[in-house]
Structure 1
Amino acid sequence: MYLMLSSAIYYRRAFNHLKLTDTNFTHCPLVDEWVQAEKICKLLEVFYETTTLFSGVKYPTANLYFPRVITVQLTLSQALQSSDEFMRSMANRMFQKFDKYWKDYNILLSIAVIVDPRFKMQFVEFCYNKLYGHGSNELSLVKSKLVSLFEEYMGLASKSSSSNTSTSSHSRIDDSASLPLNSDSGCMDVFKEFDTFQRTELNDRAQKSQLDLYLDEPKIDRSSKCNVLAFWKAYQFRYPELAQMARDILSVPISTVASESAFSTGGRILDQYRSAMKPDVVEALVCCRDWLVGQKETTEVRLDDLTENVMNLFINEDAGSNNAATDY
């Protein structure tokens, strides 16, 4: 519907010109109808972009889930406040469907947008403040789950590091050996003050976790092209545990198949003759079909090979008929 409306709006002047030049063309939309079509097209554009992004062709990372779904919800909320009665009624029906499937945001996928350096926590706070107001329980829940998940990764890392530590002793290097032999007491005082300053700075930095340091850094420009997986691969030595957590979260698939394919598959399995199957049986049938079709799609069939097989088939038929005639 969005593609048809956008194409029609693009050729709006052509329709109007055809109305003036061709008397048989009597079905040209009116001005009010064009305005209505533009409003509907603007509303459906968000759904078209979201469906295209979530389709199983590109396999997007999990950080793209939250911005798209929140955009759909905010768009529907604005349409509910429209002065057009038709737009309000359409948005109301669409919002009921949205609440049925997308009302409760998955916390893990909400955390996925935080590990995107273009959004971080500021984007989640901005969206939740628009939806639920300042200081909402939903935002506090996301923050607490983020901290607890990071602490779990830190605990696993500390266990693995403690099991791999060796008991070998390291000799300490004398600090005075690195100083010049002819250094006076004034220079020694400067070095001592520098050592004290460095230890204080390290202690202050050690009190902040990897998560705090990452969130305190400035965000990357949102309009820039950022490969979030490549970003965490580059920063894995600076934030080792946080990078591991980010990679695990980003690998969560938003969708494995295209939306139209999913609905058409369900319609072929559940029909008027088979409508009382249990959910686990339906899931098993869908998975088996995907596995079987996936194995068939892996074997590519070339057009030349197919043509050659057809020609060989005709040759074999002609040879068989000649042999039959000879035997007779």
Structure 2
Amino acid sequence: MDLHCLLDGWANCGDLDIISMASKMRDKYNKYWGDTKNINFLVYLVIILDPRCKMGFVKFGVSLLFLIVENEVVNMIEKEFRCLFDEYSSISGRGMVNEGQSSIPTKFSKPKVLNKSKTSLAVQQYMLKKQQVGLENKSELDKYLAEEEDTNNSISFDILLWWKLNSPRYSILAQIARDVFYIPIATVALESTFSTCVPVLDGFRSSLTLTMVETLICTQDWHRKCKEPIKLDEHAAELQDMEYGNITFY
């Protein structure tokens, strides 16, 4: 959404060079984010599971990006999220909220002091019954979405810690959050590893063992992070002991 706003701003800035650049960037942007079918559902899910955003921010973002099909996308997101919640609920067997039910009597006992107005007493019993039924039929998902968003927008906000502290109230949603936020959002580290292995395992060194490949890659990383050049002459004796296996690594 930030990229969308930036590109819109650049497209209307009046500078022809920036407008031309923004147009090319918009084509690249639309390749990944211009179509609702290209966006992974988990992108929406992590926003809903952010207590500072929830469903309200998702609806705002969808209206900003896909105004024409806004209702269709929002309905799809709500449907998929509830299906996921129901699946987790069926596994754990705890889909309904049980908090506060112990404080509501199952049978209305006779009050110590009778009210002179019979209508007032009936209204009180009706309100208690209505509250009891509401709690019994309200899932923790509905309760989570109905609560106000968290106002903590500091940089130090720890969303995983928030779910850990609120897991007694939202046990099923906490399980979903744990599984969802565990998934890496990008594959850069994995691709970087393969890109590093390609020069090591070339056609002339394809018979290297896994241990030697790991040693070469680790040495390369250490060498790149070292500010001063490595002087092999100073470590010749140590390298010789390593070669003959005289040094034990812990």
Q: State if a TM-score over 0.5 links the two structures.
A: yes
How many residue pairs match? The answer is: 208
Cα separation, 1, equivalents of 2:31 and 2:215: 31
* TM-aligned CA deviation for residue 77 of structure 1: 2.8
For each residue in 1:121-172, what CA deviation from the matched residue of structure 2 results, as whole angstroms up to 9, or x when unmatched? Answer: 1111111111222743222221211111111111112289xxxxxxxxxxxx
Q: What is aligned with 1:146?
A: 81
Cα separation, 2, equivalents of 1:136 and 1:200: 32
Contact 1:76 1:91 in 2 (8 A): yes
Q: What is aligned with 2:19?
A: 88
Q: What is aligned with 1:72?
A: 3
* TM-aligned CA deviation for residue 205 of structure 1: 2.1
Contact 1:119 1:222 in 2 (8 A): no
Report which structure shows greater RCO (CA 8 Å, sep ≥6): 1
* TM-aligned CA deviation for residue 294 of structure 1: 11
Cα separation, 1, equivalents of 2:73 and 2:159: 25
Q: Which runs of 4+ in 1 moved over 3 A?
A: 183-187, 189-199, 261-270, 291-297, 306-312
* TM-aligned CA deviation for residue 109 of structure 1: 2.0
Is 1:133 equivalent to 2:67 in the alignment? Answer: yes
Identity of aligned pairs, percent? 25
* TM-aligned CA deviation for residue 86 of structure 1: 0.7
Change (3 A) 1:263 1:184: closer
Contact 2:47 2:54 in 1 (8 A): yes
Q: Write out aligned runs for 1:102-113 (5 A).
A: 102-103=33-34, 104-113=38-47
Structure 2: any 5+ residue segments left out of the alignment?
Answer: 96-106, 204-209, 241-250
Q: 3-state SS of the aligned residue for 1:136?
A: helix
Structure 1: any 5+ residue segments left out of the alignment?
Answer: 1-69, 161-174, 275-287, 317-328
Change (3 A) 1:124 1:159: closer
* TM-aligned CA deviation for residue 247 of structure 1: 1.4
* TM-aligned CA deviation for residue 265 of structure 1: 5.5
TM-score (norm 1): 0.50
* TM-aligned CA deviation for residue 80 of structure 1: 2.4
Q: What is aligned with 1:202?
A: 132
Contact 1:232 1:246 in 2 (8 A): yes
Cα separation, 1, equivalents of 2:13 and 2:215: 46
Larger of the two Rg values belongs to structure: 1
Question: What's the RMSD between the two structures over aligned residues?
Answer: 4.6
Cα separation, 2, equivalents of 1:201 and 1:294: 67
Cα separation, 2, equivalents of 1:230 and 1:294: 38
The structure with the largest helix share of the pair is 1
Change (3 A) 1:200 1:72: same
Contact 2:196 2:217 in 1 (8 A): no
Q: Write out aligned runs for 1:89-238 (5 A).
A: 89-103=20-34, 104-133=38-67, 135-158=70-93, 197-224=127-154, 225-238=156-169
